[in-house]
Structure 1
Amino acid sequence: MSPGKTGTEDTFAYFAFGSNMLRERLQLENPSATYLDTARLKDYLLDFGVCGENAENNWHGGVATIRESPGSEVWGVVWTVSRDHLETLDSQEGVHVGVYSPLEVRVETSSHGEILCRTYQMSNFHPRLTSPQYKHVVCRGAEQNGLPEDYVGGLRGVKTNNYSGPSVLDSIKTDAGRS
Structure 2
Amino acid sequence: MLKSEVHKLDTFLYFSYGANLLTFRIQMHNPSAAFVSIARLDNYRLDFIRYSKFWGGPNVTLVPTANAHVWGVIWRLHKDDMASLDNQIGVDRIKYYIQYLDVLTPYMGLFKCRVYIQKINPLPRADNDVVPMERWPSATYKRIMILGAIEHDIPEYYIEYVKKLKHNGEDGCLTMVCLLNRYAVDTPCECRVPGRISRKTFKLDLKKIREKEKISGK
TM-score calculated relative to the size of structure 1? 0.86
Alignment partner of 2:76 out of 73, 80, 98: 80
Q: Are 2:167 and 1:171 equivalent residues in the alignment? A: no
Show structure 2 runs of 5+ residues with no match: 123-133, 180-218
* One-letter amino acid of the counterpart of residue 167, structure 1: C
User: Which residue of 1 is the match for residue 148 of structure 2?
Assistant: 141
**Map of 2:198 onto structure 1:** none
Q: CA deviation at 1:48?
A: 1.2
Map of 2:100 onto structure 1: 104
Cα distance in 2, alignment partners of residues 112 and 24 from structure 1: 25
141 and 32 in structure 1: CA distance in 2 versus 1, 3 angstrom threshold: same
Residues in 1 aligned to 2:117 and 2:159: alpha-carbon distance in whole angstroms:
21
Whether the aligned pair in 1 keeps the contact of 2:63 and 2:121 (CA below 8 Å) is no
Q: Which amino acid aligns with 1:168?
A: L
Q: Could you report, residue by residue, the CA deviation over 1:63-121 in whole angstroms, capped at 9, with x for unpaired residues? A: 21111001000000000011110000000011011111111110001222100000100
Q: Give, in whole Å, the separation in 2 of the partners of 1:19 and 1:144.
A: 12
1:66 and 2:73 equivalent? no
The equivalent residue for 1:176 is none
Do 1:25 and 1:172's aligned partners in 2 also have CA atoms closer than 8 Å?
Answer: no
Q: Which amino acid aligns with 2:56?
A: H
- Give the fraction of aligned pairs with identical amino acids, expressed as a percent: 33
Pairwise mapping of residues 9-88 of structure 1 onto structure 2 (< 5 A)? 9-50=9-50, 55-88=51-84
**SS of the residue aligned with 2:12?**
strand
Alpha-carbon distance between aligned partners in 1 of 2:85 and 2:39, rounded to the nearest angstrom: 19
More strand by share: 1
Which structure has more RCO (C-alpha within 8 Å, separation ≥ 6)? 1
Counterpart in the other structure of 1:91: 87
In 1, distance between residues paired with 2:98 and 2:25? 19
2:135 to 115, 128, 131: 128
Is 1:151 aligned to 2:158, yes or no?
yes
Give the whole-Å Cα distance in 2 for the aligned partners of 1:124 and 1:12. 26
Taking the aligned partners of 1:104 and 1:68, their CA distance within structure 2 comes to: 14
Contact 1:137 1:169 in 2 (8 A): no
Higher Rg of the two aligned structures? 2
Mapped contact 2:44–2:69 kept (Cα < 8 A): yes
Q: Is the 8 A contact 1:24 1:172 kept in 2?
A: no
Instruction: Tell me how far apart the structure 1 counterparts of residues 53 and 107 of structure 2 sit (CA, whole Å).
Output: 36
CA distance in 2, matches of 1:90, 1:57: 18
Q: Cα deviations across residues 141-164 of structure 1 (Å, max 9, x unaligned)? A: 011010000000000011011114
SS at match of 1:64: strand
